Amino acid sequence: MKVVRTRGECAQARAELGLGTTVGFVPTMGYLHEGHLSLVRRAKTECAAAVASIFVNPTQFGPTEDLSTYPRDLDGDLAVLEQAGCDVAWLPEVADIYPPGFSTFVDVEGVTAVLEGARRPGHFRGVATVVAILLNVVRPTRAYFGQKDAQQTVVLRRMIEDLALGVDMVVAPTVREPDGLAMSSRNSYLDPAQRAAAVVLHRALQATRTAYAGGERDADRLRTAMTEVIAGEPLAEPDYVSVADPDSLAELATIDPARGALLSLAVRFGRTRLIDNVVLPPSR
Ligand code: PAF
């Protein structure tokens, strides 16, 4: 596995892979877990070469968020990337991505105004900007993202289409711990009691999915079902629960089975905030 640092080194490594070579790209912020590695393995299976980046992107963190404490383990990450079959690991510094004078940002409108975007102002501007830069340097055939960050996938799909970036976006299912907790680098912040409590996100989503499967279509009643499960866990403080249109992310009054819905939620455990979601697919 080749390890590169600057934009120039990464572009050179990409050129050496061959312009006609299909490249699968997995952008990450490191502290890699099975969710990331499943994306790398899939990229390697579906493309001739796999490229991954590790970059804790400062522009997607708010002033009171966890940029300085975000978990890092570069040596461990490089070892597991290599095992997963990654061909090129790109580890840029902040100045490689945002050199002096940098002043161009990507703002995706509409779908960023709700859910995570409403609670984390500027977050998706930072995500869209860095992903645009990463894609422009790596020039992949396909870019791989996890369903766990559901709104991020909606925002980036919009950006890739609007800016004609010419990349196929692949969204892979959320990888979960045996008890159902969605894998996340931020799970490492949880103490043992919080970790045990955190399974409530999955339980709330499952209860709601079951209610939907049983015929419930009223979105308020489904939101209430999620809220009630969370309320049963004393360490959990809900931030939001949502039943939204899967494309526009607008909150629904009633679910149209022909369109399906995105069930999502954010819950705090002390200072750690976790998100999770379930897609209710359209039925024919
Ligand atoms: O999902 C993430 O880890 C990040 O938001 C991403 C896509 C790597 C951009 O920094």
Residue 123: active-site member: no
Which atom of ligand 1 is nearest the CA belonging to 60? Answer: 10
pLDDT value of position 68? 96
Residue 243 CA to ligand 1 center (angstroms) comes to: 24
* Percent of the chain clearing pLDDT 70 (strictly above): 100
Range 17-21 average pLDDT: 94
Q: Please say whether the dihedral angle defined by the alpha carbons of residues 135, 137, 140 and 145, taken in this order, is positive or negative.
A: negative
| pLDDT classification of 277: cutoffs 50, 70, 90 | very high
Global pTM exceeds 0.85 = yes
pLDDT at res. 219: 98
Mutating to test ligand 1, I would choose from 53, 120, 125, 149 the residue with most ligand atoms within 8 A of its C-beta, which is 149
Pairing of strands 23-28, 142-146: parallel
Distance separating alpha carbons of residues 149 and 160, to the nearest angstrom: 16
Residues paired with 2 in a beta bridge: 88
- Could you say which of 33, 36, 123, 202 is catalytic? 36
Helix (H) or strand (E) holding 248, with range, is none
Distance 27 CA to ligand 1 centre (A): 6
How many angstroms separate the alpha carbon of residue 68 from the centre of ligand 1?
A: 16
Instruction: List the structure tokens of 180.
Output: 């159902």
Q: Where are the alpha helices (DSSP H) in 139-263?
A: 150-162, 192-197, 200-213, 219-231
* Residue 245 CA, ligand 1 centroid: distance in Å: 23
Mutation test of ligand 1: which of 131, 153, 157, 159 has the most ligand atoms closer than 8 Å to its C-beta?
A: 131
For the chain, what's the residue count? Answer: 284
Find out whether 125 and 106 touch, Cβ atoms under 8 Å.
yes
Q: Is 130 in the pocket of ligand 1 (CB under 6 A)?
A: yes
pLDDT in tens, 69-118: 999 999 999 999 999 999 999 999 999 999 999 999 999 999 999 999 99
Q: Could you tell me what percent of the chain has a pLDDT over 90? A: 99
**pLDDT beyond 90 at 284:** no
Contact 78 CB / ligand 1 (< 6 Å) = no
> Do residues 38 and 84 lie in contact, with contact meaning Cβ atoms separated by under 8 Å?
no
Residue 32 is predicted with a pLDDT of 98
